Chains A and B, each alone.
Chain A
Amino acid sequence: MNTLGTQTFRDKYRSSTLDIALRNGLIAEKICKVDRGTALTIKSPYQTAPTTTVQALTGTYTVTATTVTNDTLTVTDEFITSEHIYDFEQTLSEFDLFAARTEDMIYDVMAAIDKYVLNEVLETGTGTYTTPVGGFTTAANINVIVSNLASKVAGFSEAYKGMYLVIENTDMPGFTQAQMTNGFSFADGALRNGFFTNYGGIDIFVARTGVFSDESTTSASGTKTWTNDGHRLFGVKGLATYAAPRGVRFEEKSVTLKTGKELVAYGYIGAKVWAPKATLTVDITLA
């Protein structure tokens, strides 16, 4: 007669790899130009715009000097996370711990970079806009806000690169209600399919609450200070640049006095909105 205890049975896991915790969607790469070169600085000299004079037929003119302004993006901050997995933890585990931790740590560095870039771009943008009272959570405000924001960048040739708006998930109800109640086929579509990621020609990206924050040289902001709590980001795609030399990299190393491996994921970042086009990045204040 068999008297097998329950522990002799193999456990059934829902998936063959370790499950991951909740992850945020990453936005920065979709709205910025990314440079993965290995330079510490990226220089972008801007020339002044020439001025054309319209005059009666005289044949004479005044010569003005051409000026160039130097502007530099410098990689200033390092993003790093590290853990140690002992050999017994890997050996006695049902899962490939190294693979699971590698993937999760790289994501975590990417998420930190995303938050950093969004806040830094918002901080250096010089366009400003204050929403009507109630901000994005009031459905009646959405058409007003969207039209006002679009008008901020309309008329510039860059505007045809496409516009983006980054809100937090707590702002979404007003947007969703506006989509469900405005227009005919659009409202039907919103009612049938849910939140549309484009409204009034603006691509809408939803970040998790807390992404826009107040920080000063913390473990989230590195060397930077920003005061973005209660603010949202709008702008023209591809005008802000961030440098991520070689992207996020990963090392796995043996260390003395310990079995197993030490894992470390890291990346370097600098972000910039070039001064002559900084007005096309709008700092939205929620009222």
Chain B
Amino acid sequence: MEFVTDFLRLEHPSKGIISLTKTTMVKKAEKKEKVEPVAEMSPAQIEYRKIIEAYAISNPVKYEMKKEELEAKYNAIV
């Protein structure tokens, strides 16, 4: 449950414009989080992903050249 507050502005005959608040308790809408399907990585794939990431830092020039090859190797790992 959550509280929702509405503000009302009314013109009172003697006090002029006054604000009233009305708080109601409403049922909290369930948050629907979008769950992305996560492909499960095997331990060997996790290890190889670490190599790829380290390689991208240690040798960025060659990484760009070998990127497709490394991804193909990664995908071939089960």
Contact = CB atoms under 8 A, between A and B. Distances in A.
Contacts of B57: 225
Interface in B21-78: 48, 50-52, 54-55, 57-59, 61-62, 65-66, 69-70, 73
6 contacts: A225-B55, A225-B58, A227-B51, A227-B55, A229-B73, A230-B69
B58 A224 contact: yes
A47 to B, nearest CB: 23
B62 to A, nearest CB: 7
Given A229-B73, A230-B69, A216 B54 contact: yes
A212 to B, nearest CB: 13
Nearest to B70: A227
Interface in A188-216: 214-216
A89 B68 CA distance: 53
A261 B58 CA distance: 40
B59 A214 contact: no
A225 B70 CA distance: 13
Interface in A122-163: 123, 126, 128
Interface centre among A128, A216, A229, A230 (most CB of B within 10 A): A216
Nearest to B51: A216
Interface residues of B, number: 16
Interface of A: 123, 126, 128, 214-217, 224-227, 229-230, 283, 285
A217 B51 CA distance: 9
Given A123-B59, A214-B73, A225 B65 contact: no
A227 B66 CA distance: 9
Contacts of B50: 216
Q: Which 7 A-B pairs have the closest CB atoms?
A: A216-B54, A216-B51, A225-B54, A225-B58, A225-B55, A227-B55, A214-B51
A66 to B, nearest CB: 27
